[in-house]
Structure 1
Amino acid sequence: MYKTFFEEGVTKENTSPVQHNSNGIAVQNIGAGTVQVRTIGECERECDGLRKEIVNLQDKIAMKDEIIASKTELINQLKNK
């Protein structure tokens, strides 16, 4: 038996067979749609990747802010000449 979760947060026992799609991910059709069954480790790895991507994007934003500040400073210097 597999435990499935619905949007309301209610759980229900389900005896539907688990199948694997072409990516090797276990999926279970519960009638209301297809649910991907993943391990906690898979979810943690995905979160780690997303955290790294967020840090990378934050670094890019910081660099752009520095570029804008330096260009603004140059513009102000040229105006004051």
Structure 2
Amino acid sequence: MTELLLAQRAPTRIELDLSATAFMNSGGLAVLVQLQRLAAPRGIEVALVDPPPAVVRPLQLSGLWHRFPIEGAGAAGA
């Protein structure tokens, strides 16, 4: 992912399909935050696609929910 973000022709948006994620702990949250911190200065949006409750709940409890655009079914948890 880092290589993609640092490429000359980096994308303007990255969509992470999280629909198959069964568990999210603080390590997973840290990866998402680090990815966003690397992407933001380059004008790249990091969107979470179809996050299940196992992802939505930790994001909400940690206060990180509003830092990411949410697409699909998980958006209803906002």
TM interval, short-chain normalised = under 0.3
Give the TM-score taking structure 2 as reference length: 0.24
Q: Which has the higher contact order (CA 8 A, sep 6+)?
A: 2
Q: TM-score, normalised by structure 1?
A: 0.23
Question: Which structure has the bigger radius of gyration?
Answer: 1
